Amino acid sequence: MDLSLRDIRAFVAVAQTGSFTRAATRLHLSQPALTVQIRRLEETVGVRLFDRNSRNVALTPAGRELLPVLQKSLHDMEQVLADARSLADGSSGTVRIACLPTFAASLLPDLIQDLKKAVPSAGFQIRDVVASTVNALVRNEDVDIGLTGGELPEGAFDVLYTGVDRLVAVCPKAHPLARRRRIGLEDLARVPLVLTAQGTSVRAVVDAALAHARCAPVIACEPTYMMTAVAMVRGGLGVTILPGTAREVLAEPGLVVRPIDDAAFVRPIALIKKRGRTLPPLTERFVAAMLARMGDDADARPTRGPIKESTKTGSGKVSNKRIQTST
């Protein structure tokens, strides 16, 4: 027979009060019910715990030995229950997210600060990585959610949100293209380009757009990180193409941003989780805040799998659609 938490609680109450009557009152039990619990515990441990007469109750030697052990067990189990309830109601826990660096820098700080104000004990594990690594981390359950870009493999993920991040051209203020209000594909084909490395979601979009237009770009260099690309442009190596949401662009007073006059220069983005997996309540709360911040479409239909179509926007910002999924 297994030890019962109720029986242990009854034993500790009787030991602390020295009275079945007072212990029953504390536990909101009838005295016969309390007696049954004590007898059941004695049967389970195989030893008498109390000596009882008409006037008082005293612990037996075995009861005195077991009291601190069972008190600790009771405290530990009650702490486990309290922790479980906190996890269940979202008042504690850790949000584990993999995210494109663009959004890790621009979107997450305010969201994390807001949640920390509401839930001070909330923890965050953030992996700011390229899209392919975001997908792998979610698939392998190293994180619970991912904000990724580009195409998604069929059937691997539940898609909680889709949108597009419009790409822009970035050049020095003294560059000839800076005088234009909008930049065409033919303009980009005539200047050296600083492009993010192969394997990044931005590079995939740029390569596809240039290939579709049969343009052979002049590539000056291929850094991995957007901050490096911006530094190369600042140094006069060429023009770069980055998401309009990139904070690296906004932080450079010597550079200008120009929209690209071609609908192909948009990066699909998606908020994903592993298909069929339940999110922790605190993470669900964080996802709700992300959706509210990025905007939502109440008429969006459920979808899974690859993002095949992009919602066009000319704002240089994120155009979005909230997705409800069933798991």
Across the range 57-79, mean pLDDT stands at 92
What is the band of 310 on the pLDDT scale with cuts at 50, 70, 90?
A: very low
Query: Which of 104, 154, 161 lies closest to 129, judged by CA?
Result: 104
Comparing 156-165, 229-238, 308-317, which segment has the lowest mean pLDDT? 308-317
In angstroms and rounded to an integer, the radius of gyration of the C-alpha atoms of the chain is: 31
In whole angstroms, what is the distance from residue 214 CA to residue 113 CA? 46
Which residue did the predictor score with more confidence, 247 or 294? Answer: 294
Q: For 82-126, write each residue's pLDDT tens digit.
A: 778 877 777 788 999 999 988 898 899 999 999 999 999 999 999
Mean pLDDT, range 45-52, rounded to an integer: 92
Mean pLDDT across the chain: 85
Q: How many CB atoms lie within 10 A of CB 251?
A: 11
Domains, the chain, with CATH or none: 5-88 (1.10.10.10), 98-327 (3.40.190.290)
- Which pLDDT tens digit goes with each residue over 138-185? 999 999 999 998 888 888 899 999 998 899 999 999 999 999 998 998
pLDDT at 250: 65
- Rounded-to-integer distance, Cα 13 and Cα 61, Å: 17
Strands 57-59 and 50-52: antiparallel
Helix%, strand%, coil% for the chain, nearest 5:
40, 20, 35
- Say how many residues make up the chain: 327
Reported confidence tier of residue 54, pLDDT bands at 50, 70, 90: low
